Amino acid sequence: MNPSGISDTVGSMVRSLRGLAVAASFGSVMLASPLAFADDAAAAQALFDRAVELMQEKKFDEACPKLEEVTRLIPDGNGAKLTLAECYESQGKTASAWTQYVFVQTAAARSGQTDRAQLATEKAAALKPKLARLTIKVPDAVKQLPSLSVTRGGVAVGAAQYGEAIPIDVGSHVVEVKAPGKKPWKQEVKVPADGAQLAVDVPELEDDPNATAEPEGNGTAPGTAPASKPTWLFPAGFIVGGVGVAALAAGGALGGLALSKSSEAEDECPRGFCSATGNELVAESGTFADVATGLFIGGGVLAAGGILMVILAPKGDDAQEPPTTGSIRWRFAPTALGAGIGGDF
């Protein structure tokens, strides 16, 4: 039989199996995605319908959280976001309503939903003069503190918002400032009505005497011995590296056998047609070549890992005292496949 024909047939079968595996994986993903989306859509629709009923009953405190969940399940649902903005507005959360209207104004215009974009634009414009605003003023000395945290109502306030009049809902809000090594500071702010303009001046934070100080010197606490590096890395590195070298040697030997078998097969396969002996030689050559390749790859990885372990092993003062019992003796010797390594402990 023509060996190239055998190779082509096997290659074709492998490619076909790979194709089936990829197709099956892709098909399962394509099947799962619509099902998951359908479940989210069904849940969102049920929540939306219930929220609308609650809004008609003037139960805005119950309706708004359901609409928030709808917008989480269907992030691109501009209709739900518009309804949520209306719920916030009816709930008296003017700043939250204005923010949602602005979002819908942009998203709907981008999606070609001109009616919704126009409605959101009009609603946002009407609410803007009514917005209450809060300015959080942070002094430069506090801004420079490492790992500074400023929150308003539990929501992080970025540095870009310092000193800016940010829209805020009517009600009570807590401004809190924290930094490592400093006493935390907080202040409750009560926004009395729409249109209020308030400001909070953050003071310089006081040092916290109870804060844990950074240890001096080499970074270890007093009375604590520095952590020692594992001493097993050095001998283990030699073992792993030695096994890798042996694998490379074996791979070289098998590679040579594969070339020899291939050369013999050429004599038994004139003009591409092989005798029975030729087919056996081709098969043996392929087997030796595959095993040699695996040994080269595995040996290279092990050799590199062994070298790395030796490099990372503690040296000099970093090493612990060697054990008083036991020893390691290395042996290198030729084997049937090339060279070998061993040790006595």
Q: What's the pLDDT at 7?
A: 44
pLDDT tens per residue across span 321-337: 444 444 444 444 444 34
Domain boundary among 95, 129, 163: 129
Above 50 in pLDDT, residue 26? Answer: no
113 and 137: one domain? no
Query: Are 137 and 122 members of one domain?
Result: no
Q: Is the pLDDT assigned to residue 292 strictly greater than 70?
A: no
Q: Tell me, yes or no, whether 243 and 334 share the same domain.
A: yes
Cβ count near 9 (within 10 Å): 11
Please tell me the predicted confidence (pLDDT) of residue 28. Answer: 43
At residue 227, does pLDDT exceed 90?
A: no
Report the pLDDT value the prediction gives residue 326, as an integer from 0 to 100: 41
CATH number at residue 172: 2.60.40
pLDDT score recorded for residue 250? 79
Q: Are residues 106 and 7 in the same domain?
A: yes
Structural domain count of the chain: 3
- Residue 31 to residue 29: CA distance in whole angstroms: 5
Residue 336, pLDDT score: 39
Q: What is the pLDDT of residue 5?
A: 46
Q: What pLDDT, in 10s, does the model give residues 38-87?
A: 677 888 899 999 999 999 999 999 999 999 999 999 988 999 999 999 99
Q: Is the pLDDT of residue 35 over 70?
A: no
What local confidence, expressed as pLDDT, does residue 25 receive?
42
- How many Å apart are CA 170 and CA 198, to the nearest integer? 11
Residue 27 shares a structural domain with residue 100 = yes
Kindly state whether residue 252 falls inside one of the protein's structural domains: yes
What was the pLDDT predicted at 329?
47
Percent of the chain scored above 90 by pLDDT? Answer: 46
Of residues 335, 255, 337, 336, the one with CA closest to residue 288: 255
Cα separation, 295 vs 143, in Å, equals: 59
pLDDT at 284: 73
12, pLDDT greater than 80: no
- CA dist 167 and 130 (Å) reads 10
In the predicted model, is pLDDT for residue 223 greater than 50?
no
Determine, yes or no, domain membership for 225: no
**Same-domain status, 17 and 109:** yes
Q: Is residue 76 part of a domain?
A: yes
Find the angle CA(196)-CA(202)-CA(205) to the nearest 5 degrees.
160
Query: Which pLDDT value is given to residue 341?
Result: 44
Are residues 197 and 101 part of one domain? no
**In this predicted model, what pLDDT tens digit does every residue of 244-272 receive, in sequence order?**
778 778 767 777 776 776 667 666 666 55
For residue 282, what pLDDT is reported?
67
Q: Is residue 302 assigned to a domain?
A: yes
For residue range 157-195, list pLDDT tens digits in order.
999 999 999 999 999 999 999 999 999 999 999 999 999
Most confidently modeled range among 183-187, 237-241, 289-293? 183-187
Give the list of residues 6+ apart from residue 324 with CB closer than 8 angstroms, or none.
none
Exposed e or buried b for every residue in 13-29, given b needs 16+ CB within 10 A?
eeeeeeeeeeeeeeeee
Domain boundary among 103, 129, 155: 129
The verdict on residue 263 lying in a domain is yes
Q: Give the mean model confidence (pLDDT) for residues 195-215.
A: 86
Q: Would you say residue 16 has pLDDT above 60? A: no
Owning domain of residue 324: 233-344
Asked whether residue 314 is domain-assigned, the answer is yes
Considering the domain architecture, whether residues 273 and 286 belong to the same structural domain is answered as: yes
**Same-domain status, 9 and 115:** yes
In the predicted structure, residue 17 carries a pLDDT above the cut 70: no
| CATH (domain of 48) | 1.25.40.10
In this predicted structure, what is the pLDDT of residue 320? 46
User: Please, are residues 274 and 3 in contact by the beta-carbon 8 Å criterion?
Assistant: yes
187 lies in the same domain as 300: no
> Is residue 224 one of the residues assigned to a domain?
no
Same domain, 190 and 165: yes
Residue 9's pLDDT is 40
Residues 88-133: pLDDT tens digits? 999 999 999 999 999 999 999 999 999 999 999 999 999 999 999 9
Q: Which of 106, 129, 152 is the last residue of a domain?
A: 129
Q: Is residue 226 part of a domain?
A: no
- From residue 188, alpha-carbon distances to 10, 176, 207 in Å are 75, 9, 22
Q: Identify whether residues 116 and 160 lie together within a single domain.
A: no
Beta partners for residue 190, in sequence order: 172
